[in-house]
Structure 1
């Protein structure tokens, strides 16, 4: 046994030596020193430490609530320039001023203290969280994002259950089965165009709809041979395999005619790019913040506040004011009894910083022949403002234009913080009116919460011919890891003098609709109750988290 040894020739040794020598020379020329001089190293270390310290301080200041404001409240409408400017700010006062200016730039009516854009924006977030949640908060979904940015669609073609679908000619025609999908149509979106159609598809059947550029994505039979054929495929004039060789990003069949412009590749790409861009800022004028201190005690009125979560750091706060007709002075104008009530309110932080100023004139007109009966009525007015959790002072002034009588009240507000991990609820609202709204009115106007009109009873006083209307939102429900659905029990209790009169469970069918957020809407007739004071209590048990809440409130039947 032996091994053969191959010797290297003299010529090969010379080549190797020359290669090694060249590598050593070049390495010395282009390779930087491995170790800096002590002086340079010390200088670099000092600079990096100072910069790191500064960046760390800014990051700590940005953690709450400003980080959540920029990442969870306004991420869809803040421009890149605004975001860059905000991140350069170093003090809370600068950030507060920036946020005030941010909303003022978008105020459609700078001469008014009421920022309609801001109020509408937070209403949309609340609606999206209530209607589009699917394992993640509604505002994070594609449908929620589009709704928040552009409001309710003018038309919605709803196929939430999927099933049989007759394709339009531009998609190839023919019959197929689809996954759940929705088509939203906007007649006009500023900066984008007219007749905008957006399609959301849920191919996973989990309730997670996403915006798609491919009309063929909703086809559940797309990958099933010889099923769900288009007209041309059924006639043998095209092959289903052709759908997968298209170069325009779609998987639809070959249509009979030409594609409409809206379905051309670059048109779809342009729409998809623009639809997610922050809307252009048009209203840049700033208005001065006017503060005043006024007082009076001649005109009595009642006020209540409620709190509903929008995000973890933003709470929608409806302020409801009630005043009796009999306390106002009316003037007869051509057979109509006329009165005007001026409303002024101011919200300030504990440090005295103005948070919101609201002025409104409420006109009350009653036909002369109905005037005497109307004196038993009450005028109710409501506006809402989005607030960060914390303490505030609310100053209210009412003035009767006819008599000049004024009334004022100051009260403290403690806006709650809704913990992300803890089962919690909005204010338990006892209302005298609770009704669903048509799509055109969803999310707009006084007394509107999402898709429901809720008019709180300010004094919680009802007559026996009324219904007791209950409204409450439940937040942070746990979800089963397998079903991605919550499991909860809800019990309504009616008590008098601490003794139970009624015990009723929530409809199980409604509980199946629950997501991370659930809305309670209940109406109870009061005709069976005798005059007196009662307590309504709602027990909500989250079986996933093993947490329970039991909010309650009192009311009176007259």
Structure 2
């Protein structure tokens, strides 16, 4: 077997010596790549960067614009013309297409409404853009997007509900006048009194979506913003790339400003019948700043995204907190010992790509760990680290397997003074061993493997007699190797990490049912989603869970159940719930009721689709006069819409669904 260490060195050297035209790009191509960066997919950019000749690059550009031409039969490319108008506006008025405002403007165009909150005493300079995004892939019909200047310094940034909060929109002077212990709620209440629309937008990008000021946007906001930036990957047909199929491989492109190094570790466990994804993130550095109390402070955001291999987001979790330590603890925990952040989330079965992002908002530094996993509820489930603890409490914590907890080592570095300890949940006796990465015949079996009364396999291996080197930690069950990863064993002293972890009480079990229901819904597994929704106790059947339950039944085509759920007075009549109600009524041929909900939908903004649907519905009811009014309104909206330049209008002749 070739040496893994030598292979890594060779790869590093190759990256230094192999020529690439991308390192010698002419000013023309650098300029073009920047101009189209908001609308260029990662695949397109990767292929373009590998093109060997000028002729190939010019041919690529021609195909690039043809793929986006809404009317190929006309001599002009309407999309290209409008896009460069957007770019010119962004460069002149919005700080360029590299800025948050400029990039959104290039992707989505002019917002339907724009509100400026500059010059106010209580809030920082910010803008609220309201978009009508009908017919855009995976975007809601209406959206709120906030741009703000943190502490009134620097450029305008895109506001992420959940990562940001109403606190970020307050001016520094006014913020200091509020009680620090109730800052989040006080900030939101101030916004609601002075700027109610801005306050609503601070909670979610979806108008009317219910969310808590203490934990805003934990549902769909992050997913929707991610969908905005992934529009180039979703909206453009890329079959033209087959014309460049002689190129092999794919170049990964990562666009970050202040990226830092770090370590990530992921493991699956099962506790009380629920499968959990556990993760530990260890950034190489955590920069802090002094606050008013002379403490060292950093605003931290820990984000988890679970997506399938088609790019569909199955679950997203955001955890935000302020890290505050004095000088002694900073030296002990952060500078010397380093701090590891641990969290967990329930997860459904399937093959997923996991992305964990550590964001230090104080220093604007980010570390991202990505990993592919396969989740099988039948196991096996493996945990290993340098310490095993038998727990007395029933609370849910990271890296817990039934009554045991493992303290993992995110760096996978162990010293000869350590004992490798672990837990394995398996229906069969495992074979565990260390295999030297340079010599497959250099094996160290783990013989101290015992089965406890609950059926878990507990194992230990003192490392004092294991020579320092790189090893594969291998687990075999039957004839199959189910796990293999590289660990390091060293004679040097390695300080253990200090863990900052989350936990949930035993009662959180029902909250996990809600999360699993959402994950199954996002994965399109409707029957399993409904099963978990129906497990929710009465106290969790609320304004947040009921609309999602109704969506699952709607996709299952149980329209009567949708009406039963959403007509409850507990459910707020937002755009999404009204659309589900209207569509369900249309499917059940309850046309009079459908008209009521359609009219209520219009309060969120007039659209061609709503008016066409109203016209068709009134026509079916025999009210031709009303039908004519709505058809004329739809026609007028279509004629004034900028989308007319990009795509032909489309008429609906019978009542149909809105979403």
TM-score, normalized by length of structure 2?
A: 0.32
Which protein has the bigger helix share? 2
Greater strand fraction, Structure 1 or Structure 2: 1
TM-score norm. by structure 1 comes to 0.38
